[in-house]
Chains A and B, each alone.
Chain A
Amino acid sequence: MTARLLAGSPGAPATTTRWHPTPSRRFRFARRLALTASALSRATGYGAGTTIGGRVLLWIDPDGLRVAARGRTAAVVTGTNGKTTTRTLLVAALSRRGPVVSNRGGANLRAGVGMALARDLSAPTAVLEVDEYVVEPVVAETTADVVVLLNLSRDQLDRVAEVSSVAARWRTMLGSARIGTVVANADDPHVVWAAADAPRVVWVAPCSRWLGDAATCPACGEPLDMDPVDWHCRCGLRRPHPAWRVEAGSLVAPDGRRHPLHLQLPGAVNETNAAFAAAAATCLGLPLQDSLDAFEGVATVEGRYDVVSYRGREVRVLLAKNPAGWTETIGMVRPPPATLVLSVNARTADGRDPAWLWDVPFERWAGRPVIVTGERALDLLVRLKYAGVAARHVPRLRDAMLAGDRRCPTEVVANYTTFRQLLRLLHDG
């Protein structure tokens, strides 16, 4: 692993040697079929073809992910919020050194990761975002050199495990697999508990904290003592000293030097994502300045934050999937006269119970006119009524996009499946 880490010396041009050792006939057959399935899926307009391709790959060669990852430097990014943005920033940084393979488009289960790797066998570096509930096998199969643990909070409670049981699984994973360096959130007690026994941990302190899901100690169950800058428990679990910090728009590196962050992505939460990406890239030997320069070029993350012109209106779409994400977003949207549209669905991928809307401090928008849409607009409408926010229900997404004054920008905040619907609408009309 160390040899691999050092192989790409910082800033060196991309190597042209074949990184991938000759795979078995079984793998080659599986890959060929997977690529065909994937192409068919795309050609018929069924989907991006990543998941179906990955399923075919792993069905024919159950070891396909391991084979496709072999011989590469791999970074795995996981957590409840920020996976896609952090992965995008990390890809931008590491691409300065050579080709990087990565799983785009939200395909962050094992099949999606396998297919992304199988598509491009030549890139020496892989940056993978993995769903927090299925990260263990991917970390093991890719023998990840860096594992980034962003945060852990409530999401999709109707279909997946509660936060504490996910933390317990992470802890087992980090104790058993051959793990490289863990880059972990020093302010998230669940993450700290999960990573505490890992052999090498680089702690990162974000600039804002979502503490709603960590009132009690993940180790012993007693209440945590918390103040604005520190937390600890009587049992001994405490906030570790962070190597990297985000402070007032700057990144403070382990040597204590401050580096102003010039991000195009809005909000404090993206400064935190950049800190994780910088720490991970540094672990893989990239000079910090290269990372910082690369981050400046990232303006959009798979449609998020993207400003689109739609029927003469300037529309920006923000994705927020759970209470922590929505709370961050409240500070991110532009003030009036910008039109604010909120859209919420509750399909399987969103979590079928939108009661989490009551954990979002919508009171901060009191007095601001809001337009609500999406399949669960009525849940949102009731929530906003009790928050003192005057909202208007516009059932159709298309109409909601056009409901505001055309001279003012429109800000849209949407959760997962309605975000995807919106992107299709905005880009395909």
Chain B
Amino acid sequence: MADSLTVVLVYPELLGTYGDVGNAQVLVQRARWRGVSARVERVGVADAVPAYGDVYVLGGGEDQAQLLAVNRLRAQRGLHSAVAAGAPVLAVCAGLQLLGWSFVDGAGLEHAGLGLLDCRSDRLGGPRAVGELLTQPRPEGIPLLTGFENHQGRTVLGRDATPFGDVVSGVGNGDGTDGAVAGSIVATYAHGPVLARNPALADSLLSRVMGAFEPIDDEPECALRRERIRTVTSNLRRRRGASVRLGRQ
């Protein structure tokens, strides 16, 4: 097992609008609780993204900030090298969109993404997707994913990416799926922060770097998960008037 861990938080000033900086804090603390010295490396707007990080975290942000972030990331190789070397990357919302081939801003203009993830994003028709997001993740070992989405994006995956999960409640990518998985990248529309609400996902990212480790006591996280999942499913039942079937929780 590695004896130290660096979580690179990519442009939190640009991609931290919805509390997603918490994802880095969750990773670092869960590594520390297992005896690994860990730290967050915050990459400032004017700084280069280092290639030596163990895990990379990108969050959501406003249109203008997303554009600035993608322009900066395209002008350097740090994130590209890390992805090529297989470092786990968690990308949320705007972070997901800018890893893809292209995305569309609020004015309807298309911008090139980094092309690290085989997907394209444009705008959802209709109202902004705002509310609880509940999905059934496709990767083994990750139970129901709970988060909060707040976006106007619609994402279509290419052949080299698979959806991260299937939407139980909410909008996600806009086609019944949410997010994308390709190689070492995991992407979702879920804020929350998503790792605080889904410690199993945090541990699955960590285990790729740290190897196998013991479970830890997740009582408040589990209580929060139960509460959020119950809220969403009771709303669903009320709306659909039918039973809602859920897999593993």
Contact = CB atoms under 8 A, between A and B. Distances in A.
B17 interface: yes
A190 to B, nearest CB: 12
Contact of A386 (B22, B45, B192): B22
A385 B13 CA distance: 24
B45 A215 contact: yes
A381 interface: yes
Contacts of B21: 358-359
A355 B224 contact: no
A355 B64 contact: no
Interface string B1-30: 000000000000110111111100110010
B26 to A, nearest CB: 6
B50 interface: no
A352 B147 CA distance: 12
B229 to A, nearest CB: 12
Contact of A158 (B45, B150, B196): B150
B224 A379 contact: yes
Contact of A383 (B22, B68, B148): B22
List of 4 A-B pairs having minimum Cβ-Cβ separation, nearest first: A355-B19, A358-B22, A215-B13, A223-B45
A356 B19 CA distance: 5
A399 B2 CA distance: 45
Interface stretch (A159-167, A243-251, A305-313): A159-167
Contact of B220 (A216, A359, A382): A382
A20 interface: no
B18 A157 contact: yes
A385 B193 CA distance: 14
Interface of B: 13-14, 16-22, 25-26, 29, 45-46, 62-65, 67-68, 130-131, 148, 150, 191-193, 196-197, 220-221, 223-224, 227
25 contacts: A158-B150, A162-B17, A162-B62, A212-B13, A215-B13, A215-B14, A216-B13, A216-B14, A216-B45, A352-B131, A353-B19, A353-B148, A353-B191, A355-B18, A355-B148, A355-B191, A357-B19, A358-B21, A358-B25, A358-B193, A358-B196, A378-B220, A378-B224, A382-B196, A382-B224
Nearest to A224: B45
A116 B192 CA distance: 39
Contacts of B22: 355, 358, 383, 386
A382 B224 CA distance: 8
Given A223-B68, A352-B131, A385-B221, 15 more contacts: A157-B18, A212-B13, A213-B17, A216-B13, A216-B45, A223-B46, A352-B130, A352-B148, A353-B18, A353-B191, A355-B193, A358-B25, A378-B220, A381-B223, A386-B29
A396 to B, nearest CB: 16
A58 to B, nearest CB: 26
A359 B196 contact: no
A368 B20 CA distance: 25
A216 B11 CA distance: 11
A157 B18 CA distance: 8
A345 B45 CA distance: 33
B68 A222 contact: yes
Nearest to A387: B25
A386 B196 contact: yes
Interface string A354-382: 01111100000000000000000011011
- Name the residue among A162, A163, A358 with the largest chain B CB count within 10 angstroms: A358
A379 B193 CA distance: 10
A351 B62 CA distance: 17
Interface residues of A, number: 30
Contacts, number: 88
A216 B65 contact: yes
Contacts of B45: 215-216, 223
A359 B68 contact: no
B200 to A, nearest CB: 14
Contact of A164 (B13, B62, B221, B223): B62
A77 to B, nearest CB: 25
A358 B194 CA distance: 11
A157 B150 contact: yes
Contacts of B223: 378, 381
A39 B54 CA distance: 64
Given A386-B29, A386-B196, A216 B68 contact: yes
B112 to A, nearest CB: 17
B17 A157 contact: yes
Contacts of B221: 382, 385
Contacts of A355: 18-20, 22, 148, 191-193
Contacts of A215: 13-14, 45, 65
Contact of B64 (A164, A352, A357, A386): A164
Contacts of B25: 358, 386-387
A256 to B, nearest CB: 35
A356 B46 CA distance: 24
Contacts of A157: 17-18, 150
Interface in A380-422: 381-383, 385-387, 393
A212 B17 CA distance: 9
Contacts of B227: 378
Interface string A174-197: 000000000000000000000000
Interface string A135-168: 0000000000000000000100111001110000
Contacts of B46: 223
Nearest to A384: B220
A159 B130 contact: yes
B29 to A, nearest CB: 5
Interface in A263-311: none
Contacts of B17: 154, 157, 162, 213
Nearest to B67: A221
A415 to B, nearest CB: 14
Contacts of A352: 130-131, 148
A381 B20 contact: no
A393 B223 CA distance: 11
